[in-house]
Structure 1
Amino acid sequence: MERCNQSSGGSDQWCQRKVEVVDLYKPRASVSQGASLVLQDAHPDDAGVYQLMVQTLDMVHTTQVTLILQGTFSPFFLSSSPAHAHPNQTAQLSFSLQPPSSSWDFICITWELISSPRNLPILNYTLDGCQGEAQDWWRRSCRTSWEVAELYRQRVDVEPNGTLKLREVQDEDTGTYLVTVRAPEGLACVAVNLSMSRAERQK
């Protein structure tokens, strides 16, 4: 927090700066001179959406910032490739997941669009009570459930392996999507970029 005042001559300004950090983050968090949040020793639980609020005497402005951790920060490996689609066609946003072991029993997959003015939740897909063995992680015997955000209910499906299928793609659908995978062993997330191709498809 900064409280600024003009000097009596009107040419200089001085500011009183105050920084308060909650106990949970005191060893790791600080604020730079430009008011950016500095978070040291990042770990999987730090990934996600952060909200910034700027307040003055006559204005309050909020924005969201998404933190994506790059690299291997959990016992399972997650990677992705860019996705492409034609207008009004179906886009498939996929990722590659390698669980830490063949005996896992729970995985939750979350998809959201993070390049719009605000983050848009899309889908939560859960595999629970998994048993048996299979060559592909998604082919084990599991209870599956999914929940689609109201904005996407008419256009979104999910494949057993967590691939997001987005129908009738429009310009506003292009951008960066974040897939987050949670399991008892940890958490990982990766971005998937969706672009639009307007070249006529070959027959």
Structure 2
Amino acid sequence: MISVIDYGMGNIKSVSKALEAVGAQIKITQNPEDIKKSKAIVLPGVGAFRDCMQNLTNLGLLSTLKEEILNGKPYLGICLGMQILFSESEEFGFCKGLDILKGKVIRFKLAKDYKIPHMGWNTVKLKKKSKILDQIPDDSYFYFVHSYYVVPEQDKVIAGVTNYGMDFTSMIIHENIFATQFHPEKSQKTGLKLLSNFIQLVK
């Protein structure tokens, strides 16, 4: 069973449907015990970093989430679910993250030709080999919606880079952690393949 964490934000339904479509047994949950019992964790997200951290805290999920990830449980973070892995964010003022990965989350500062948020299809230049990327070609298109991006302190965690007026980190792979700035559940066949690969990693 895979825990899909419902913290009152994000596109829980579309992520859950996509995971079920590729054969996952999921449980949408706000219960720390479900997270502990599950074989893997998925945390989707759309919204503000501070609200996400506050909601996880209010639900009593924050310490369990961090503990399970640090203990090696497979984790897939999508969009905001990737950003909260890092030390801090500047969104709406300074806010601490889980600090599992060192780095920060900052807002795009781009030329006027580029609209913020970065929204729509864009390519991902792959920087790592991993089973989660099996049969996913380099420069595949994925769907993005975000105004902030992660800046890791260590390049070794960066698995994918995307260009939108500048290069930014769009995918992280580090040990049991898999995270994407893009939305695989909205990225058609390629996104479903990535989710399917994650399920195979968990089995």
Q: TM-score, normalised by structure 1?
A: 0.25
Larger relative strand fraction: 1
Structure of larger gyration radius: 1
Q: TM-score, normalised by structure 2?
A: 0.25
